[in-house]
Structure 1
């Protein structure tokens, strides 16, 4: 899939971001969660207000993976105080890498991940970290393969369901 273009998301792209965000989150998690919890999260987590706030935040960046003018995945990075944990300037959080199911196994996630690492290198951070749901073995394997190790756990609330995320980190200081 060499024709994939990575492009920075701006406020003008908010409809596309909302659409790809809701679609990929649904594909990834709807089987494992109640419809009610999913609907609430999709409405709140991907509301225009929330996305506008996130896109206007100078300490967060979104990138689309685009194939033949179709957005097929996206990446969200957080720096400094915008990180959901750690919140220091020596690390970057990969908050989201999501790819449409029909493009799984086609290296789209790896291309988005490579973009995250490029940004991390440009910002000269010491480590990159993320939280991944403990019941998402596919994602856990992906990050392990890319050199991430587990260092903690935290709770992610989806609707009224508390779920455990495994926190993983990759040291870049060597």
Structure 2
């Protein structure tokens, strides 16, 4: 599972369908780190998560033309993904980067981020925004290590009814 074996590509419809199936299967195991870090920590209801990663939801997001999925492949296995959505002509949001357990700490997240940045530069995006929960130390270090700067910290009402302190980062990619 060496970093050199990982290929990053823009996800096609069949890739997004496979990604949804993998995410939903992974999230059935509530003891794994990806579930603990991305769901349990925030008290997100199971139905909300299942809907967010449902094949129909992901395909609908991609069909808008504003959302791009990049997947990391180890051969034919999905190692992780990044989801980026254009907010306007100049700003895009890195909605999520998820690296699957057996590929963590092997540079896959960084490769996904770099591919997303290249793609957004080609689209003329000037700023990439990313959000992390205040308590998500690993995610926050990842963004800071990759040149993002913190621009705000906001207490929000999450869609599932909890209060959440969100830290927003930005990265200027085209000046």
Q: TM-score range by the shorter chain?
A: 0.7 to 0.9
Q: Give yes or no for contact 1:126–1:171 (8 Å, CA) kept in 2.
A: yes
Distance 2:94 2:151 in 1: 15
Q: Give yes or no for contact 2:79–2:99 (8 Å, CA) kept in 1.
A: yes
State the match for 1:46 in structure 2. 53
State the match for 1:82 in structure 2. none
State the match for 1:58 in structure 2. 65
Gap runs ≥5 in structure 1: 80-86
How far 1:33 sits from its partner (Å)? 4.3
Alignment of 1:18-57 (within 5 A): 18-22=20-24, 23=26, 26-34=35-43, 37-57=44-64
Q: TM-score, normalised by structure 2?
A: 0.83
Q: Give yes or no for contact 2:121–2:174 (8 Å, CA) kept in 1.
A: no
Q: TM-score, normalised by structure 1?
A: 0.84
Distance 2:6 2:160 in 1: 34
State the match for 2:160 in structure 1. 159
RMSD: 2.1
Distance change >3 Å, CA 8–CA 27, structure 1 → 2: farther
Q: Give yes or no for contact 2:21–2:55 (8 Å, CA) kept in 1.
A: no
Moved beyond 6 Å, runs of 4+:
none
Gap runs ≥5 in structure 2: 28-33
State the match for 1:172 in structure 2. 173
Distance change >3 Å, CA 66–CA 49, structure 1 → 2: same
